[in-house]
A and B are shown apart, each in its own frame.
Chain A
Amino acid sequence: MKKLGATLLLLLFLFGHSCRDTSKEKEEEFEVDVTVEAMEELARVKQVFYALPSPVEIAALLRSSGAIYNEDLLNPVENAANYLTTKSIALNLGIYITDLSYAGFFDQTQASINYMAISKELAERLGIMDAVDRHTLEKLEANLNNRDVVMDIISETYLNSSAFLQENERETVATMLFAGGFIEGLFIATSLADESNIENNALVDHIVDQKFSLELLMKLLEDNIHNDDVADLHAKIDRIWEIYGEIEISSSPVSVERDKEGETAVLSSSREVNITPGLFAELKDKVKNIRNSFVSY
Chain B
Amino acid sequence: MKRIIPVLLFWVLLTLIPANINGQCKIFAKRVCKVELGSFMHDGNYHAAILEEGEEAELYKTFYAGQDYRLAICGDDNLYKIEFTVMDTERNELYNNSDNDFNATWDFSPVNSEQLLISVKVLPSENNGADNSGCVAIMFGFTEK
Contacts and interface: CB of A to CB of B under 8 A. Distances in A.
Are chains A and B native binding partners rather than an unrelated pairing?
A: yes
Interface of A: 1-2, 4-5, 8-9, 11-12, 15, 44-57, 60-61, 63-65, 148, 151-152, 154-159, 162-163, 166-169, 202, 205-206, 209, 212-213, 215-216, 219, 251, 253-254, 256, 259, 261, 263-271
Q: What is the size category of the interface that chain B forms with chain A?
A: 35 or more
Interface of B: 1, 4-5, 8-9, 11-12, 15, 19, 22-23, 25-26, 29-30, 41-49, 51, 54-68, 88, 90, 92, 94-95, 100, 106-115, 138, 140, 142, 144-145
A55 to B, nearest CB: 7
Contact of A54 (B44, B59, B60, B100): B44
A148 B41 contact: yes
Given A148-B41, A212-B113, A254 B94 contact: yes
A265 B29 CA distance: 25
Given A254-B92, A266-B111, A269-B111, A47 B57 contact: yes
Given A5-B4, A50-B60, 14 more contacts: A8-B5, A15-B12, A45-B55, A51-B61, A156-B44, A159-B29, A159-B44, A162-B45, A251-B114, A254-B92, A254-B114, A256-B95, A263-B107, A267-B109
Contacts of B59: 48-51
Nearest to B117: A48
A158 B111 CA distance: 28
Contacts of A53: 43, 62, 64
Q: Which 7 A-B pairs have the closest CB atoms?
A: A155-B44, A158-B44, A8-B8, A167-B22, A51-B61, A209-B113, A212-B62
A213 to B, nearest CB: 5
A167 B25 CA distance: 9
Nearest to B42: A155
Contacts of B23: 167
A151 B12 CA distance: 40
